[in-house]
Amino acid sequence: MKRSESREALFILMFQSTFYKDADFNEIIENATEEGEIQIDDYAKRAFEEIHGNLTEIDSSIEKYLNNRSISRLSRVALSALRIAVYEISDQDDVPESVAINEAVNLVKKYDTQESASYVNGVLGSYVRNK
């Protein structure tokens, strides 16, 4: 599985988790794979677990760059993509910052609006410049 495909599976898991805040990440993975929606490889599973383990820290990092918005005002799509990108930028040495940003923007373009994608690009650009 290509990394971009794995990242999209991770994105779907992250998006689904925004609807099931009390669910264990293993439950979300089980539900997604049982329904046959996605194939989850080791990278997506590991990243999903690590993101959920550090969600408060990741969200705090994101919130610093939202320009007077709160996380609760973001679309679930944008929030899911931002969480993945911030995780990859801060914790994955094998993912270049530009790739993490580009992949996040492309996911938001695919599942949300161009305006949302531009906003995510700006937030991530600010994050990278100031981290």
From first to last of the 131 residues of the chain, give the pLDDT tens digit. 898 999 999 999 999 999 987 788 788 888 888 767 688 999 999 999 999 999 999 999 999 999 888 999 999 999 999 999 999 999 999 999 999 999 999 999 999 999 999 999 999 999 999 97
Tokens of 36: 């046959």
What pTM, to 2 d.p., does this model score?
A: 0.94
CA separation for the pair 54, 34 (Å, rounded): 26
The helix, strand and coil proportions of the chain, stated in percent and rounded to the nearest 5, come to 75, 0, 25
Tokens of 66: 């939202």
